[in-house]
């Protein structure tokens, strides 16, 4: 193996801390925001298949639809990560 290719094993607590750091960084990035109007425009264009290839659109819509199922990440779970 080459240096840097070794994977370290995280404890569950270390993994949780790493995930929290990443989530905080995501929320703190000013590029991760939108207006309601821009979000609605994006969803409308996505639904009309004006943004991506047909396959990519289908994949993204399927992914988004799956988030409505009972196993999706709820806002309360996100707040607990902070």
31-43, pLDDT tens digit by residue? 878 889 999 999 9
Give the start-to-end residue ranges of the domains of the chain: 39-82
d(CA 61, CA 31): 23
Sort 22 into a burial class: Cβ within 10 Å, 0-12 / 13-18 / 19+: exposed
* pLDDT tens digits for range 30-79: 887 888 999 999 999 999 999 999 999 999 999 988 877 665 455 555 55
- Closest among 39, 52, 40, 38 to 62, alpha carbons compared: 52
Of 58, 55, 75, 54, give the one whose Cα is nearest residue 66. Answer: 58
């Amino acid at each position: 193996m080459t240096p840097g290719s070794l994977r370290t094993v995280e404890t569950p607590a270390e993994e949780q801390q790493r995930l929290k750091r990443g989530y905080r960084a995501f929320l703190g990035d000013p590029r991760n925001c939108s207006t309601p109007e821009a979000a609605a425009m994006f969803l409308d264009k996505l639904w009309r298949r004006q943004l991506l290839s047909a396959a990519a659109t289908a994949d993204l819509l399927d992914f988004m639809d799956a988030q409505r199922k009972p196993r999706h990440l709820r806002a309360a779970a996100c707040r607990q990560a902070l």
